[in-house]
Amino acid sequence: MQSAGAPTPDDAAGLLARIAEGDRDAFGRFYDTFAGLALGLIRRILRDPAASEEVLQEVFWQIWQEAARYDPLRGSPEAWLVMRAKTRAIDRLRAIRRRGKTFVAPVDEAMAKTPEQPTENPGVVAERRGLVRSALDGLPEPQRRVVELAFFEGLTQSEIASRLGEPLGTVKTRARLALERLRSLMKREGTTPA
Amino acid sequence: MNRDEVIELAAGYALGALEMEDRARFEALLAAGDAEARAALRDFESTVAGLAAETAEAAPPDVKAALLARIDAEGRSRGTLTQILSAARPAPPRRSLWTVVAVGAMAAAIAAIAVGLAVSTVYDRRISQLAREQALLKEEFTRQEELVTILQDPATRVVALSGLPPAPEAKARMLWHATAGGLLVAQGLPPAPAGKAYELWAIAGTGAPVPAGVFAVDARGVGSLRVAPLRSGGPPDTFAVTLEPAGGVVAPTGSMYLVGKL
C-alpha cells in the first residue's frame, strides 16, 4: 500500500529485514502499514469480526517469527503478507465449515451473523479500492466468479467447477485468463502493487 | 509439462485454488527452481495481492498492542532464562544434582509464566468457545451413554406403536426401562401444524395418561424423544402419541396418532 508516509516496497523489505533481527519498532511500523490491508481481506473471507482479528494476530505473529524467511526474489512484502493472511483465513474458514457439519453449527451461524462493522480507511485506500473494484468489474462475469469463489470463498478449482456446473478444464483456463487480464487492468489503472 | 500448463498452475496456486495433487506438482516445480514457474507465480501473486486493496480497513490498535505485549513477554523470558543459566554456571564442581534440578525447575517455571503471558487475550475467546463446545459434547456423550445403558439392560422393553387414522402409515418404537426412562423414535408422522407438537403419553392400566414429553418431526416425518423416568402413575403398559398445543398439556386433548402396548 503506497499511501502518503507509507514505506516504499524497498522500505517494506527493509522493515522485514529488521524484524528478522528482532526489531520491535520495525514490526510496529510494518503492522501500521499493512495490517489494515490484511484485516480487510481476512474479514471479507471470514465475515466474523472477532475471528478475523484472531487470524490477523496469528498472521502478524508468524511474520514476527518468520520474517527471516521472506525472499525478495519471490515477490513484494505486500504480496507475501497478503498470501499468508489469505491462507490463514481460508484455513480458518474451512475449519469452521467442517465444524459446521456437526451440531455446533448453530454457534458458528450465530457468530457469522454478527453484523459487520466496517471501519473505513479513507483517502488513498478508498481511492485505490475503487480502482481495484473497477479492475474486477472489468472481467467478464464467468472469470470474475472464478476469482471471487477462489480468492474470497476459498473454493478449490474442482469445487468451483461443480458449483458452476462447468468442466474443470474450463475453470482452470478461466482462472488464468482472469489473472492475466486483472494484471493488465491494474497496470493500466496504475494500481499494480510492486 | 508445457508452458501453458505451468502458467495455469501458477494462476491456480496464486488464487489458492489448486487441488492437493496439482499443488504438489507445482510446489515440486518451485522447489526444483523452475524459473518459469517462479516468475509466473511472482507475477500472479502480486496481482492477487492487489485484490486485497479492495477491502482494506484501518489497522486495529488493540491487535497491535496484544502483539507487542506478546513480543515483550517473549523477550523477558529469553533474557531471564539466559541470566539464570549463566548464573548457575560459575561453580560447577560444587553443584549438586539438586542444584541442577532446582535451576531446571526454576527455568521451567519462568518459561511457563512467560508462555502464560504470551497466551493472552486472543486465546481467551477461543478457550471460551472450546469450553462451550466441550460442554455440548459432554452433554451429548452423557445422553449417548444413558442410551447405551438402556440398550444393554435386559430389563429394557421394546414397544411397537402403530399408526391410527390421522396417520395410518406412521409407526414408532419405544425403548422403555422402568427406572432409566426410555427413547421414542417415530416415523411417518405429518409435520405438526404451526403452534402444535406431538406429545407422548404413558398409561398404566386404567389410570390417567401421564405426559412423557413433546417432540417435533422433521420434513421426512421422523422424530425422536428421550423420555425421563416417570414420576407419577404406576409402571406403564401403554404408550400413545397425540397432537397437542406446542408447549404440551397435562392431559390429552387432541387426536391420537400412535399407540402401542407392552
Write the ipTM. Answer: 0.74
Which pLDDT belongs to residue B10? 95
Cell 471479507: give the residue: A44
**Structure pTM?**
0.51
CA-to-CA dists, residue B64 to B71, B78, B147, angstroms: 10, 21, 50
E strands, chain B, where?
157-163, 171-177, 181-187, 196-203, 210-215, 223-227, 238-245, 256-261
Pick from A32, A76, A160: CB nearest B59: A32
Count of residues making up chain B? 262
A16 to chain B, any CB pair closer than 8 A? The answer is no
Residue B225 near residue B200, CB atoms below 8 Å:
yes
Residue B182 near residue B176, CB atoms below 8 Å:
yes
Which pLDDT belongs to residue A180? 94
A132 confidence band (pLDDT: 50, 70, 90): low
**Angle, helix A157-164 to helix A141-151, in steps of 10 degrees:** 130
Residue A63 near residue A84, CB atoms below 8 Å:
yes
How many CB pairs lie under 8 A apart between chains A and B? 193
The sign of the dihedral angle between the CA atoms of B223, B228, B233, B237 is positive
Task: Say which range, A10-14, A120-124, B141-145, B258-262, has the weakest mean pLDDT.
Answer: A120-124
Cell 493488465: give the residue: A184
B108-163 tens-digit pLDDT:
777 776 666 666 555 666 777 787 778 778 877 777 777 787 778 888 888 999 99
Report CB contact under 8 Å: A175, B8: yes
Cα–Cα nearest to A65, from B118, B196, B159: B118
Exposed / middle / buried, residue A184 (Cβ in 10 Å: 0-12, 13-18, 19+): middle
DSSP B60: P
Task: Say which range, A84-98, A179-193, B161-175, has the weakest mean pLDDT.
Answer: A179-193
Which pLDDT belongs to residue B79? 46
Residue A108 near residue A99, CB atoms below 8 Å:
yes
For B67, the grid coordinates are 502483539
Determine the distance in angstroms separating the CA of A114 from the nearest CA of chain B, rounded to an integer.
15
Residues B9, B26: Cα–Cα separation, whole Å: 6
B247 confidence band (pLDDT: 50, 70, 90): confident
Does A111 score more than 80 pLDDT?
A: no
CB contacts under 8 A, A 42-81 vs B, are: 43-44, 50, 53-54, 56-58, 60-61, 64, 73-76, 78-79, 81
Find, in chain B, the residue whose alpha carbon is nearest to that of A104. Answer: B133
Residues B193, B46: Cα–Cα separation, whole Å: 57
B167-206 tens-digit pLDDT:
999 999 988 888 888 889 899 999 888 889 999 999 988 8
Report CB contact under 8 Å: A57, B66: yes
Higher pLDDT, A109 or A159: A159
Find, in chain B, the residue whose alpha carbon is nearest to that of A54. Answer: B122
Higher pLDDT, A100 or A99: A99
Does B83 score more than 50 pLDDT?
A: no
